[in-house]
Chains A and B, each alone.
Chain A
Amino acid sequence: MDTGSVNAMRVDSARLPRPKTTASTSPAPKKRRGDRSHLGPIVLAAGAGLLLCSFANALARETLAPSPLLYWAGVLVIALPIFYRLTSREASFGERLGLVCLLGLSLYMVKVVRDAPIFNFSDELVHSFNANQIADHHHLFHHNSIISITPHYPGLEGATSALMSLTGLSSFWAGTIVVGAARLSLVVAMFFLFQRLSGSARVAGLGVAIYTGNFNFLFWGAQYSYESLALPLLVVIMMALAERESSPRTWAREWGLPIVLATVAIVITHHLTSYALVVFIAVLALGHWLLRKTWSWPNPWKFAVLAAALALAWLLLAADSTFGYLSSPLSEAFKAVFNTASGEAPPRGLFQSHGSAIPPTPLLARGVALLAVLILTVGLPFGLRKIWPRYRSQPFALLLTLAGIGFFGTLALRLAPQAWETGNRLSEFLFIGLAFVLAGVGLEKWRPKGRPWVGRALLAGCLGVILVGGAISGWPWDTQLARPVRASAEGRTIVSPPLAMAEWARDQVKSGRFAAPVADARMLLDPGNHLSLAGESPDIVDVVENTSLEGWEVPLLRENNLRYVVIDRRELASDGIRGYFFTTEGAGFDETLLPKSAATKFDAVPGAERIYDNGPITVYDLEGKR
Chain B
Amino acid sequence: MRGQRDLAIAAWGSVLCALLALVAPWPALSLVFAAPLALLAPGYAIVAATFARRDLGWPRTALLSLALSLATLVIGSFLLNYAPGGIRAISWAILLPLVTIACCRAAALRRPKSGGRALPRPKIGRSDAVFVLGGLALAVAAVVLAMTTLPAKNARGFTELWVTPQVHRAGGSAKIGVGSEEQHETSYVLRTRVGNGTPAVRRFTLRPGEERTIRLYTTPSGDGAPVPVKAQLALAARPGQVYRQVSASIPGTPQ
Contacts and interface: CB of A to CB of B under 8 A. Distances in A.
Q: Decide if A and B are genuine partners.
A: yes
Interface of A: 1-6, 22-24, 37, 39-41, 43-48, 50-51, 53-55, 57-58, 61-64, 94, 97, 106, 109, 112-117, 134-135, 137-141, 154-159, 161-163, 165-169, 173, 177-178, 181-182, 184-185, 188-189, 192, 229, 232-233, 236, 239, 243, 251, 254, 257-258, 261-262, 264-265, 268-269, 484, 486-490, 492-497, 500-501, 504, 508-509, 582-587, 591, 609-616, 619, 621, 624-626
B130 A40 contact: yes
A304 B73 CA distance: 23
A39 B184 contact: no
A97 B57 CA distance: 13
B57 A24 contact: yes
B155 A166 contact: no
Contacts of A112: 143, 146
Interface in B214-255: 226, 244-249, 251
B196 interface: no
Of the four ranges (under 10, 10 to 19, 20 to 34, 35 or more), the interface on chain B belongs to 35 or more
Contacts of A233: 67, 70-71
Contacts of B180: 494
B63 A236 contact: yes
Nearest to A37: B128
Contacts of B31: 163, 167, 169, 177
The list of the 9 closest CB pairs from A to B, nearest first, reads A158-B77, A47-B138, A40-B131, A40-B128, A138-B86, A492-B209, A47-B135, A489-B208, A43-B135
B128 A490 contact: no
Contacts of B127: 40
Contact of B129 (A40, A61, A64, A495): A40
B150 interface: yes
Interface stretch (B1-9, B46-54, B187-195): B46-54
Contacts of A5: 55, 57
B197 interface: no
Contacts of B210: 492
Nearest to A269: B74
B248 A584 contact: no
A258 B72 CA distance: 11
A53 B164 contact: no
A489 B152 CA distance: 8
A253 to B, nearest CB: 9
A609 B249 contact: yes
A233 B64 CA distance: 10
B88 A165 contact: yes
Interface string B113-147: 00000001111110111111011111101110111
Contacts of B58: 4, 6
Contacts of A61: 150, 152
Given A51-B139, A166-B22, A154 B209 contact: no
A140 B77 contact: yes
A243 B245 CA distance: 67
Contacts of A47: 134-139, 142
Contacts of B201: none
Contacts of B159: 614-615
8 contacts: A40-B125, A58-B145, A114-B146, A165-B92, A168-B30, A169-B31, A178-B70, A614-B159
A352 to B, nearest CB: 27
B154 interface: yes
Nearest to A65: B154
Contacts of A165: 87-89, 92
A225 to B, nearest CB: 15
B46 A258 contact: yes
Nearest to B55: A24
A610 B72 contact: no
B229 to A, nearest CB: 9
B71 A265 contact: yes
Contacts of B39: 177, 181
A55 B57 contact: no
B87 A140 contact: yes
A1 B120 CA distance: 10
B159 to A, nearest CB: 7
Given A138-B88, A162-B38, A613-B160, A22 B46 contact: no
Nearest to B78: A268
A166 B149 contact: no
A73 to B, nearest CB: 14
Interface in B58-92: 58-60, 62-64, 66-78, 81, 85-89, 92
A547 B95 CA distance: 55
Nearest to A43: B135
B154 A586 contact: yes
B110 to A, nearest CB: 10
B219 to A, nearest CB: 19
A53 B156 CA distance: 25
Contacts of A262: 67-68, 71
B101 interface: no
A189 B67 contact: yes
Contacts of A138: 85-88
Given A54-B146, A612-B246, A184 B50 contact: no
B160 A181 contact: no
B93 interface: yes
Contact of A50 (B53, B139, B165): B139
B70 A167 contact: no
Nearest to B134: A44
Contacts of A264: 71, 74-75
Contact of B249 (A44, A115, A625): A625
Contacts of A55: 142, 145
Interface in B18-57: 18, 21-22, 24, 27, 30-31, 34-35, 37-39, 46-47, 50-51, 53-57
A487 B96 CA distance: 40
A587 to B, nearest CB: 8
